[in-house]
A = this chain, B = another copy of it.
C-alpha cells in the first residue's frame, strides 16, 4: 500500500471544516482515485474549544500555524486562514522553507506576495496550489494552466464576487437601491468582516490578478488593476440598463494588449442574453477566450463550505497523484514584468444623463458627442414630469479618451441637470 499523504490544516473556519468533512466522508473514494490514502495529521486554529460540528479527534493540535507548517509528519500545509500578512504569510513561508507543498485558498496572499512565494516554492522544489482561491468550486485555475495549455489566451472575464452579484441581482428584482440591498446582504451574513473587500471589488480584483498571471505569463500586478466597486451603482442605471437589454455586473476583465496589460474590475454592462448577463444571484462565472478553443464558460458556486473545500481537495488529490509544476503555469522567474495598459481598449458605452427641459438641449449633447468622435448607436428620451429630461445613450465603440473629452465638453453646454453616468459595455 502506498504511503498516505499527510495534511496539516491551518484555519478551521467554514472552508477548513469543509475539508475535514470531505476527508472523513470520502476517504475510500479519494484513495481509489489518487492511489493513496489522504489523512490529516494536525490542525491549527484560533480557538481550540469552539464547537465546529465536526470531530477533530485523532488530529494533533497546534496553537501556532508556523509550528504546524514545520511538523515532520506533515507533507502538505493547507492554509485556510486568509489575510495577506501575518500568520498566513509566515506559516506559508515556513512550510516552503521546510520543503512542504502548500495548498491555499488565500487570494489576498497570492495577489500581493504571489511572485515572491512562487520563487521561494520553485527554488525549494515545492508546490503552491490554489484552486480554491479563485471562484470557489469552479475549476478555473486548472482550466487555464492545464486544459488550455496549447492556447494563447486572448481574454479572461469573470463575475467572481457572489455578494456583489447578489446585491446587483436583488436591486433589479426589488427595485430597491444599493444601501437597502447592502443591508440585506449584511443581514444574511454574505459580507466579509471588512465589507469593502466585497463591495469595493478588492476580493474579486485579487482573483483577477491571479488569473492574469496564469493567462498571460506575467508577474502578478494587483496594483495595476483599474478598480471600482459597486457602491455607486444607482438603481436608475440598473433599470435603464435592463430597458436597453443589458445587466450591470461587477465584471473583471484582463487582456494583454500592445499597450500593456489591461486589467479592470468595475461595474459594466453586458447583454442580458449572454451567459454573463444570465448569471443571477450569488453564483460565479469565468469566461476564458483562447485562440484555439474559442470561448469557454465556467459557472458554479464561488464560495461556501462545500464548493471551496471541493477545490482544496482537487489540489490535495493532484499532489497525492504526484502532479508537480510551477505555481503560475510556467516558472516564476520566466514570468514577464508588464506595465498597466496606458489606455482601455475601445468599447461601446452606456450614458445616462438628465437634461434641462428646454429646446435644443438634446441637440447640443449630440453635437458634443459627434465633435469628440463618439457616435451614437441608440438613444432614448423618457417621459418626464419635472424640469429635467432623462436621456439614455448607447454609443458605438469608442475610445475612453474620446468619451472623457465628450463628457467634459457636455459639462460646458449648460444643458446638463446633474452629473452624467458613463459605464462601459463589455462585448462578450
- A interface, how many residues as a size bin? 35 or more
Contacting A146 at CB < 8 Å: which of B18, B293, B317?
Answer: B317
B298 A330 Cβ-Cβ under 8 A: no
Contacting A310 at CB < 8 Å: which of B33, B142, B150?
Answer: B150
Q: Say yes or no: A149-B317 contact (C-beta < 8 A), given A293-B306, A310-B290, A324-B322.
A: yes
Residue-wise interface mask of A (267-310) relative to B, using a CB-CB cutoff of 8 A (1 in contact, 0 not) = 00000010100100000000000111111111111001011011
A385 beta carbon closer than 8 Å to chain B: no
Report A87-131 residues with CB < 8 Å from chain B CB. 131
**Cβ contacts under 8 Å, A291 to chain B:** 306
**Cβ contacts under 8 Å, A146 to chain B:** 139, 142, 314, 317-318
Q: Give bound CA distance, A311 to B293, whole Å.
A: 8
**Cβ contacts under 8 Å, A273 to chain B:** 278
Q: Name the segment of A22-30, A163-171, A417-425 touching the other chain.
A: A22-30
Q: Say yes or no: A330-B295 contact (C-beta < 8 A), given A142-B146, A149-B313, A317-B149.
A: no
Contacting A32 at CB < 8 Å: which of B22, B142, B334?
Answer: B334
A307 B292 Cβ-Cβ under 8 A: yes
A139 B147 Cβ-Cβ under 8 A: yes
A143 beta carbon closer than 8 Å to chain B: yes
Q: Give bound CA distance, A139 to B297, whole Å.
A: 10
A321 beta carbon closer than 8 Å to chain B: yes
Q: Say yes or no: A306-B278 contact (C-beta < 8 A), given A26-B150, A149-B33, A149-B317.
A: no
A309 B292 Cβ-Cβ under 8 A: yes
Q: Give bound CA distance, A291 to B30, whole Å.
A: 14
Q: Give the nearest-CB partner of A21 in chain B.
A: B292
A152 beta carbon closer than 8 Å to chain B: yes
Contacting A151 at CB < 8 Å: which of B149, B310, B329?
Answer: B310
**Cβ contacts under 8 Å, A275 to chain B:** 275, 278, 299
A34 beta carbon closer than 8 Å to chain B: yes
**Shortest Cβ distance from residue A237 to the other chain B in the assembled complex, whole angstroms:** 23
- Pairs A-B, 10 closest by C-beta atoms: A150-B313, A139-B147, A149-B317, A293-B310, A137-B293, A297-B299, A292-B306, A292-B310, A296-B300, A32-B330
Other than the given A32-B330, A142-B142, A292-B306, 10 more pairs (CB < 8 A) read A22-B151, A26-B150, A29-B150, A30-B150, A33-B329, A139-B143, A142-B146, A150-B309, A294-B300, A296-B300
